Structure 1
Amino acid sequence: MSRLPNTTPETEHVKDVWDMTVVGYTGHSSFAPVPQEPLREAMKVWAYAELPQHRNFTGSDCASDTATA
């Protein structure tokens, strides 16, 4: 479960560091290390769209905990 009661996938989507418990995984995913903002935003859009398709796996099985450029 999410650590914050009012946290939703939509509220995490706009952040650079996601609490993965909000979408059913463990840990956090950070897009902060990606210095190019357009690329970082594109990666977040892609990850947000892909996460529901991978709910049978743990977060570490389908994505790195930290996105890198």
Structure 2
Amino acid sequence: MKNEIRRWREGESLSQADLAAAVGVSRQTINAIERERYDPSIELAFELARHFDCRIEDLFDPELDGDKQ
């Protein structure tokens, strides 16, 4: 899933470890999300959106197959 986590994190001058601590996951989890190798749970997606004070849609683009023509 495409995401903007790195852009939002860097916009707040946070390290991956800082963001991970803020949302209660490991640095490796944040790294995997940013590299689009791991899709977060809905709970983690909400927690990230809460942290950045934005909507989940601002952080993630699911690129649904049905949307591609």
Larger radius of gyration: 2
Q: Flag the structure with higher helix content.
A: 2
TM normalised by structure 1 equals 0.28
Higher relative contact order (CA 8 A, sep 6+): 2
TM normalised by structure 2 equals 0.28
